Amino acid sequence: MEFNLLHHGISVETIHRNLVPARLYEEAVRVEKGFAIAQNGALVCDSGRKTGRSPKDKRIVEESGSSDDIWWGSINIGLDEDTYNINFERAVDYLNTRDELYVLDGFAGWDPKYRLKIRIICTRPYHALFMHNMLIRPTAEELESFGKPDYVVFNAGAFPANRYTKGMTSDTSVVLHLARKQVVILGTEYAGEMKKGVFTIMNYLMPKEGVMSMHCSANEDPEKGDVSLFFGLSGTGKTTLSADPSRLLIGDDEHCWTDEGVFNIEGGCYAKCIGLREESEPEIFNAIRFGSVLENVVIDKKTREVDYDDESLTQNTRCSYPIEYIPNAKLPCVGGHPKNIILLTCDAFGVLPPVSRLTPEQAMYHFISGYTAKVAGTEQGVDEPTATFSACFGAAFMVWHPSRYAELLAEKIRKHDSKVWLVNTGWSGGPYGVGSRFKLKYTRAIIDAIHDGSLAAEESYKDPVFGVAIPKACANVPSELLDPKKTWADAAEFDKTAQKLANLFHDNFKKFEDGASEEIRNAGPVAKATV
Q: How far apart are CA 405 and CA 362, in angstroms?
A: 15
Of the candidates 57, 252, 253, 463, the residue annotated as catalytic is 253
Of the candidates 47, 50, 51, 53, the residue annotated as catalytic is 53
Of the candidates 172, 239, 320, 403, the residue annotated as catalytic is 239
Is 196 an annotated catalytic residue? yes
Q: Which amino acid is at 416?
A: H
* Rounded alpha-carbon distances, angstroms, from residue 429 to 189, 346, 353, 437, 438: 41, 14, 11, 9, 9
* Rounded alpha-carbon distances, angstroms, from residue 235 to 150, 225, 372, 425, 444: 33, 28, 9, 9, 15
Q: Which amino acid is at 402?
A: P
Of the candidates 238, 366, 412, 451, the residue annotated as catalytic is 238
Of the candidates 59, 117, 215, 412, the residue annotated as catalytic is 215
Q: DSSP 3-state helix, strand, coil percentages of the chain (rounded to 5)?
A: 30, 25, 45
Classified as helix, coil or strand, 312 is coil
CA proximity to 460, closest of 311, 361, 358, 323: 358
Across 76-150, where does the E strand assignment appear?
A: 77-79, 100-108, 116-122
Of the candidates 54, 67, 165, 234, the residue annotated as catalytic is 234
* Rounded alpha-carbon distances, angstroms, from residue 403 to 76, 383, 454: 15, 34, 32
Of the candidates 318, 339, 401, 412, the residue annotated as catalytic is 318
β-pair partners for 320: 270, 293
Of the candidates 59, 119, 132, 196, the residue annotated as catalytic is 196
Is 437 an annotated catalytic residue? no
Largest Cα–Cα distance in the chain? 75
Is 347 an annotated catalytic residue? no
DSSP assignment of 1-29 equals -----GGGT---SEEEES--HHHHHHHHH
Is 441 an annotated catalytic residue? no
Is 215 an annotated catalytic residue? yes
Number of Cβ within 10 Å of residue 150's Cβ equals 15
Is 238 an annotated catalytic residue? yes
Active site residues: 53, 196, 215, 234, 238-239, 253, 318
